[in-house]
Chains A and B, each alone.
Chain A
């Protein structure tokens, strides 16, 4: 089996387009996840025990069942009850909720790393609880969370191929379509792999740099 560069070049525009869609899917899913993660973690910190327990268990459930299954669930269960979602909507919801659950754990770790004395000092100057979170706790919870948040950004990017199963035209979907048209799988699947490597390796490095920058900017390095 021979590698055909000419064909690779012919395919390039389609793959560039699909890479764009993959990045959009990852970015959109991540945006949802960032916000949902915050909702999940704050809901677990309310004084209402039932809320805490239910959200806790929900986060566990999301984290311990396959994303692929959740994608199918969101996409197919809606129509059964008269609510039809586009592949993009369903895909972004599924991936956003899934990674929201992961991010809530990252946030939780960050919040728990803020020393008790910080809460007490905030109380001693009478800061309201919302201000305490906004001005004192979250800025300190963020630097230790940046590494985890970055890893999950790369993670969400690498999980976008699963959206191909419900017809989101990202990279994997494109590669499979190309393969089916031409009966050649070597180039399309290898290209997908190469594109993923080309994006995720530098990203991992950039996140590392960014994490150090955040720590330095907030003046928290010793």
Chain B
């Protein structure tokens, strides 16, 4: 079977898988960003309880493996009466895992905003939540965008694990194709190229564009 024939026969499934991967990627990113913001800010809170919850979340998800978390959410949570379908369990696990790393980025970025900015906001007598929302977060956002670029690639890569709970993403499809055809180089090789193209030519330039846009917004470039 030539490679062209391979694509002809299995192209449809590769595309279907890629679409599922992209869905998983967007949903997981959404979960990760939300969790990162929530827990990252909680981690900085004055309230001991909130801080403890955030530390527990961050250390737990960073301290264990994504695969372990995924299996736990999918296989063990139902035993406690929380049953998620595999699609939801997939992006939720990836998002929560990456969100823990993101929370540290949020924390670091907020702390990296120069002290003078906090003081200036205080001098204007801004309420704490306003100070955070109007002064600190916009600047922190710009500071943490570059490391988020890397994290978002990790999210994309992380979604491949959902294949192991039978979500029919790109990883899942090529594995199935490999089982039936033994055309390993073609199937896995094509998938590598697809992930690479998404990461290198869509995600990374997208993040760079966002960085430029935000820098301009904030008057830095």
Contact = CB atoms under 8 A, between A and B. Distances in A.
Q: Do A's and B's CB atoms come within 8 Å in the complex?
A: yes
Interface of B: 59-60, 62-69, 71-72, 75-76, 79-80, 153, 156-161, 163-164, 171, 174-175, 178, 182-185, 188-189, 191-192, 195-196, 199-200, 204
Interface of A: 1, 60-61, 63-70, 72-73, 76-77, 79-81, 158-162, 164-165, 172, 175-176, 179, 185-186, 189-190, 192-193, 196-197, 200-201, 204
A179 B75 contact: yes
Given A76-B188, A190-B76, A200-B64, 11 more contacts: A61-B192, A66-B159, A68-B171, A69-B160, A69-B191, A72-B184, A73-B188, A76-B178, A76-B184, A77-B188, A192-B64
A17 B116 CA distance: 55
Given A65-B195, A72-B175, A201-B59, A192 B68 contact: yes
A185 B188 contact: no
Chain B binding surface, main DSSP class: helix
Contact of A186 (B68, B79, B157, B191): B79
Q: Which 7 interchain pairs have the tightest Cβ spacing?
A: A66-B160, A64-B199, A76-B184, A1-B79, A73-B188, A196-B64, A161-B67
Given A63-B153, A66-B157, A68-B171, A73 B192 contact: yes
21 contacts: A61-B200, A63-B153, A64-B156, A64-B199, A66-B159, A67-B157, A69-B171, A73-B185, A76-B178, A77-B184, A80-B183, A162-B161, A164-B67, A186-B79, A189-B72, A189-B75, A193-B64, A193-B69, A197-B59, A201-B59, A204-B63
B188 A65 contact: no
Chain A binding surface, main DSSP class: helix
B196 A68 contact: no
A73 B184 contact: yes
B44 to A, nearest CB: 20
A72 B79 contact: no
B195 A69 contact: yes
Contacts of A63: 153
A117 to B, nearest CB: 27
